[in-house]
Amino acid sequence: MTRLAGKLAGKIALVTGAGSMTSSMGNGGMGNGKATAIRLARDGAAICALDLNLEAAEETCTLIRAEGGTAHAVAADVTREDEVIAAIAKCLETFGRIDILQNNVGILRTGGAMDSTVEDWDLMVHVNMKAVFLPTKHALPHFVERGAGVITNISSIAGLRYLGTPYIGYNATKGSIISFTRNLAAEVAPHGIRANAILPGFVDTPMAREVTIQKSDTPDAIDWDALDQQRAARIPLGRVGTPWDVANAAAFLASDDASYITGTEITVDGGVSCRV
């Protein structure tokens, strides 16, 4: 892809979860956060790529720089307040300000109401909710001071409905992100700040593949193409989504084209919600 028209030229974007796993699982190691960082950079934004794994964040930055973009990698655990504070300070030190906060970090564990472990439940609440709350909490003073800012949170259509697989902890925490985003938008709108959520459906990411592998008794025998075809049969548009589909929605919400959009959700699911 080539650099686009530059709707985000001059903007600074802090993208959490901007790294991704390697290509060992066959989709190029491209997760939602990594694709979004690259997509925002293609629209002209300078990227502060934050990830728990500095090497993964650096890989994303290398890809951005190879296309002529500007990017700086920062390592932080977004569930640790001290590390989030330090990461935001580093981003401000490097770029001088932040215009866009893109919260991508999340984890998934399988299990229904009876067989989910307390440990898995606590872990998902800890990661999926704090990963949105802490970066938002500590970016907001900067946004309020400037009277501007855009916050986009990755939730899931699983936060609204049961999709046929028991992921009750994941679904509950993703649903909480929708509520968090709506409340946040109403609270910060008087300061010129917008907040929205993106709800992906079936998207081919390293995390999705890792969960499939964990559930399989014969992970080495998984036929990814056949699995994609099975999932595509549930999707009105006839294909599984890619991280670029999510990234394109994020780029729109971050731009002035969405200047009158706040407190809502964009569903990126190929029409699955129409059938479920």
| Residue 46 exposure: Cα atoms within 13 Å on the Cβ side | 13
The answer to whether 77 and 83 have CB atoms below 8 angstroms apart is yes
Beta-carbon neighbour count of residue 226 at 10 Å? 9
Q: How many CA atoms lie within 13 A of 56 on its CB side?
A: 24
Q: Is 169 exposed, middle or buried (0-12, 13-18, 19+ CB in 10 A)?
A: buried
Tokens for 4, please give them.
């686009």
Coil, helix or strand for 52? Answer: coil
> C-alpha angle with apex 224: 223 to 229, nearest 5 degrees?
100
Distance between CA atoms of residues 268 and 198, nearest Å: 7
Distance CA 10, CA 43 (A): 10
3-state secondary structure (DSSP) of residue 112:
coil
For residue 152, the tally of other CB atoms under 10 A from its CB is 26
Query: In this structure, what are the phi and psi dihedrals at residue 103, rounded to the nearest 5 degrees?
Result: -95, 110
Find residue 3's DSSP bridge partners: none
Is 167 assigned a catalytic role?
A: no
List alpha helices for 147-216, DSSP H. Answer: 168-188, 206-215
Given 162, 167, 170, 260, the catalytic residue: 170
Catalytic residue numbers read: 170
